[in-house]
């Protein structure tokens, strides 16, 4: 967590290209929970097979940035329900930028999962230029259920796969006004 990143005190986290943060539990592998940032050049992974696995958890009420560089991954690998590769939530707005750069990959497995879920107001830009993958029935690519004061841009593929359950997905379910 950024709140304990610098010897038990708040600080920025930089994950290099050969870096790996890997957990097997409900909850998050990495968390922005202070006024600090994470730069991911490696791999953040949660392989928990139960419900509620999160790759990166960004809490509302803090200011910071998340940058995912080219060739970096967030991967929530196993099943379960309501998993999120990147989850932004809380009772107060999050102030900062989420920058998923070209060549990066965000994957969430599990029924009703989301690769990127923004569930609290956000003040800043969301740049989705990396590949977004939601796998399993009811999977979601980018879910925005709270206002964004800034811009949301997409510049790459959002892939949803249900492994033979094509009735789970429909372009008619996407409301361009609300997401």
Per the CB < 8 A criterion, the answer to whether 14 and 30 are in contact is no
Give the chain's mean pLDDT.
88
Quick: pLDDT tens for 108-143: 998 888 899 999 999 999 999 988 888 888 788 888
Surface-to-core class of residue 109, CB atoms within 10 Å of its CB (0-12 exposed, 13-18 middle, 19+ buried): buried
Quick: pLDDT tens for 65-116: 999 999 999 999 887 888 999 999 999 999 999 999 999 999 999 888 889 9
DSSP 27-58: EEEEEE-SS--EEESSEEEE---SS-EEEEEE
**Among residues 75, 68, 93, which one has the least CA distance to residue 15?**
68
Cα separation, 129 vs 93, in Å, equals: 23
Cα separation, 124 vs 101, in Å, equals: 16
Which stretch, 5-9, 119-123, 157-161, has highest mean pLDDT? 119-123
Cα separation, 38 vs 22, in Å, equals: 15
> In the 8-state DSSP scheme, what is residue 19?
-
pTM: 0.89
């Amino acid at each position: 967590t950024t709140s304990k990143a610098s010897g038990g005190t708040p600080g920025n986290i930089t994950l290099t290209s050969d870096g790996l943060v890997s957990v097997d539990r409900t909850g998050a592998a990495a968390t922005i929970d202070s006024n600090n940032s994470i730069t991911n050049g490696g791999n953040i992974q949660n392989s928990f097979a139960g419900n509620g696995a999160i790759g990166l958890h960004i809490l509302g009420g803090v200011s910071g940035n998340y940058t995912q560089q080219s060739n970096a991954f967030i991967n929530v690998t196993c099943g379960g329900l309501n998993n999120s590769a990147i989850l932004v939530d809380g009772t107060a707005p999050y102030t900062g930028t989420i920058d998923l750069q070209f060549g990066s990959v965000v994957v969430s497995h599990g029924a009703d999962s989301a690769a990127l879920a923004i569930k609290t107001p956000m003040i800043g830009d969301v740049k989705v230029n990396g590949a977004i993958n939601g796998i399993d029935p009811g999977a979601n690519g980018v879910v925005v259920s709270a206002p964004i004061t800034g811009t949301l841009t997409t510049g790459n593929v959002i892939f949803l796969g249900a492994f033979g359950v094509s009735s789970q997905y429909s372009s008619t379910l996407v409301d361009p006004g609300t997401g």
